[in-house]
Chains A and B, each alone.
Chain A
Amino acid sequence: MLEIEGLEFRYGERGLPGMCFDLEVAAGEVLSLIGPSGSGKSTLLNLIAGFLEPAAGQIRLDGVAIETLPAAQRPVSIVFQQHNLFPHLDLYTNVALGIDPSLRLTPTQVSSITDALERLGLSGLQQRKPGALSGGQRQRVALARALVRRRKILLLDEAFAALGPAQRAEMIGLVKSLVRENDMMALLVSHQPRDALIASARTAFVCEGRIETLQPTAELLEASVLPAVREYLGSA
């Protein structure tokens, strides 16, 4: 269980209103975050990943506080919309970096990479460089790397935004089964309400630096009475 409690973030400049988040994600859950751009979705992910420092508040995984750990020691993997892979390295190396950036791997670790690539339908492409792949394949490589890292929390920051609808649905299905198989949890930031519908039983609506509401996805998307949500969805 991931618990986020009173997690505050302030920009360097004075006068800007700060952000404050409270959220709980259960093991095995894929939780979606939707909301207008600039509302704080990516900021929340960056706080969890440790790229940004909170002004106050706690992040706990299974009861253990992690908000003071450096980014590298957090139980977190993140997948961005782009630039997830190093373009001059082949797929195998890109995935292997997730285990150990010195690339000194045990035979077990090597076979875990092969397994992960196979699980994501990338076998046979190990020697390819990212430039020779499609957008969808590149995101699969990033997921393979998340898989071999064996970290509990998976953050997807508009990871599939550049893909077409069918591919997005396929990738989300893949994420759901990976999370279930490996007992992880995922936070999915998306601009497509349909993604949330496929991905998550529950969806959080982020607005002006806080979680405005957390509801069953279908309810939030179809029957929300909150004006901010209706305005965002264009259903006013």
Chain B
Amino acid sequence: MNPRLIPAALVLGLLAAIVVAPLAGLLNLGAMPGYESADLQFWQSAYLRRVLFFSLWQALLSTLCSVLPAILVARAFALQPSFPLRGFLLRLFALPLVVPAVVAVMGVVSVYGSDGWIPFGRSLYGLGGILLAHVFFNLPLAVRLLLPHWQAIPQRHWQLAEQLDMNTWQRWRFLEWPALREGLPGVLLLVFMLCLTSFAVVLTLGGGPRSTTLEVAIYQSLRFDFDPLRAVLLALLQLGLCILVASLSLRLQRLPEVEITVDAPTPTPGPRIRPFHLALILLAAVYVAMPLLSMLLDALAGPLSKVITRAALWQSIANTLFIGLSAALLSVSAGWFLLRYSASLALAGQPGRARLIDLAGSIVYVVPPLVIGTGMFVLLSPYVDVFSWVYPIVIAVNALMGLPFVIRILGPALRQNHARYHLLCQSLALSGWNRFRYLEWPLLRRPLGLAMALVAALAMGDLGVIALFGTPNTATLTLLIYQQLGAYLIPDATVTALLLLLLCLTVFWLLERGLGGRLDA
């Protein structure tokens, strides 16, 4: 028997416990307290129709407003392979990944709020604000996901296009669009899914029942209306939508029509610098940088000493660090054992099963955290005080949310390492701790450090399940910000948001460098 099966099976069992058990709790409607079949008329209510429509509508608009400009910006980056600050701007576009949603919300409020640089007035709270915040996150993400498709165009094709005298339209039609077409549906669906399950942004910027999504409605039902049955029905609907979108994106992934190649990927040859391209890039960069800058300025002018002298702040900083670091450790260990097993499966000629294991790690894409949270709430509340279980639940769900990142960052390096050295290790009888110490740690510490840093930062910035289970004693910084916003203490919330951002970036930097080693090592 494969010795790697046991830890992997334990992880898979844990995954099942975290995901499947709550789902079972959701489906066991008949056992719900206060259940009456009449409640099922909820399916036909105008409320549900409105929530469902708004969920899909805002997700669709957010997706189009993010991805369509991102195509132009990614194209501008691709066709201008060298200009000053190009690397810096691309790194700026990676930043929103680690910026907590509540921080982005404070930035959006700071720029587009009534005292901001570009005041939006009251319409900020509602669809307008939601779109602004979703584009802040997803435009840079889409740019970074789309850019490699241009880089995959062989340099020979650009040279042929030059020789065949293709104009801009013809280059787009014969070179760029065919390359882009493979990846675009996946990017569109991913962004759609992220916006459909977006919680913190809609919660804080939605501004009322008119603009409520399923994700937020679940929270309101559970936390304010004390109506678990409605929460469960909403969660089931949300789950159904997510499964639909996910299966669509699995089906749409077409096999690319490519020539088998021995070339290393080549940079595209640079045509002349086009002011239009640079203007596009600059515009997008300003859009991404503005909320962060404006928030920074607001926070520095804010009630700094008042905020940092509150005991509640330090309590939530401690909670945030504890949850973030525990989730990162749990997530990276779980990913490590899953990947080690899938790597050995792949080497043993079972790539299909290996892929299945990797996919299991990304289950959270299909089952949104709030759905899991609702399931746990329903499952546990008859037996225990769920509010005293907040740490294990939040840590587990955040670890689960980090797992897809762990698999994407660590997977390729680990598989390559395994394929190269497994036979050598066997012949030297290098195994267990020694194998980790001499082989895996030195070669894999860079991706391990990055994965750890990213999951910690994401977990620290997450306002999701904690909103369901958190109490003032167990609040994280994100929940504290939400409470400050709810009390209309916007200057306090801005200062706290800056502290959260600094904390996330510091922890990210420390973990990435501390574990990953120095760049020149």
Contact = CB atoms under 8 A, between A and B. Distances in A.
A86 B157 contact: yes
27 contacts: A49-B159, A49-B163, A51-B162, A71-B159, A71-B163, A72-B164, A72-B165, A76-B163, A78-B159, A80-B156, A82-B154, A82-B259, A82-B263, A83-B160, A83-B261, A84-B156, A86-B157, A86-B174, A86-B175, A87-B178, A97-B166, A97-B174, A101-B161, A101-B166, A101-B167, A102-B170, A130-B259
Contact of A51 (B159, B166, B258): B159
A77 B259 CA distance: 21
Interface in B258-297: 258-259, 261-263, 269
Could you say which interface size class chain A belongs to? 20 to 34
A2 B442 CA distance: 57
Contact of B257 (A70, A76, A87, A138): A87
A98 B174 CA distance: 13
Contacts of A180: none
Interface string A45-89: 000011100000000000000000011111011101011111111
Contacts of A49: 159, 163
Interface string B135-159: 0000000000000000000111101
Contacts of A85: 259
A97 B159 contact: no
Contact of B162 (A50, A83, A88, A138): A50
A131 interface: yes
A230 interface: no
Contact of A72 (B163, B175, B261): B163
A83 B257 contact: no
Given A88-B257, A102-B170, A83 B156 contact: yes
A39 B154 CA distance: 23
B178 A83 contact: no
A83 B269 CA distance: 15
Given A89-B174, A101-B170, A129-B257, 17 more contacts: A49-B163, A70-B162, A72-B164, A73-B165, A76-B163, A78-B160, A82-B262, A83-B156, A83-B160, A83-B259, A84-B160, A85-B259, A87-B258, A98-B164, A101-B161, A101-B167, A138-B259
Closest 5 CB pairs of A and B: A72-B165, A83-B156, A83-B154, A71-B162, A101-B170
Contacts of B154: 82-83
Given A71-B163, A72-B165, A76-B163, A87 B259 contact: yes
Interface in A170-223: none
Contacts, number: 70
Contact of A82 (B163, B166, B167, B261): B261
Contacts of B161: 101
B81 to A, nearest CB: 13
Interface in B55-98: none
Interface string A133-149: 00000100000000000
A210 to B, nearest CB: 24
A101 B257 contact: no
Contact of A97 (B164, B178, B262, B269): B164
A101 B165 contact: yes
A30 B258 CA distance: 32
Contacts of A89: 174
Given A98-B164, A101-B166, A131 B174 contact: no
Interface in B222-279: 257-259, 261-263, 269
Contacts of B156: 80, 82-84
Nearest to A97: B164
A184 to B, nearest CB: 15
A129 B258 CA distance: 10
A7 B288 CA distance: 48
| Most chain B CB inside 10 Å of its own CB: which residue of A101, A129, A131 | A101
A83 B9 CA distance: 45
A83 B263 contact: yes
Q: Which of B154, B163, B170 has the most C-beta atoms of chain A within 10 angstroms of its own C-beta?
A: B163
Contacts of A129: 257
Contacts of B163: 49-50, 71-72, 74, 76-78
Most chain A CB neighbours (cut-off 10 Å) among B165, B175, B269? B165
Given A77-B163, A80-B156, A101 B174 contact: yes
A51 B155 CA distance: 11
A74 B164 CA distance: 10
Contacts of A72: 162-165
A51 B271 CA distance: 11
Contacts of B257: 87-88, 129, 131
Contacts of B159: 49, 51, 71, 78, 80
A51 B269 contact: yes
Contacts of B160: 78, 83-84
Nearest to B166: A101
B360 to A, nearest CB: 33
Given A80-B156, A82-B156, A83-B157, A131 B259 contact: yes
Contacts of A77: 163
B368 to A, nearest CB: 36
A89 B157 CA distance: 13
B178 A86 contact: yes
A72 B154 CA distance: 19
A89 B173 CA distance: 11
Query: Chain A CB within 10 Å — which of B157, B159, B178, B263 has the most?
Result: B159
B186 to A, nearest CB: 18
Contacts of A98: 164
B383 to A, nearest CB: 58
Q: Which of A77, A83, A129 has the most CB of B within 10 A?
A: A83
Interface in B148-206: 154-157, 159-167, 170, 174-175, 178
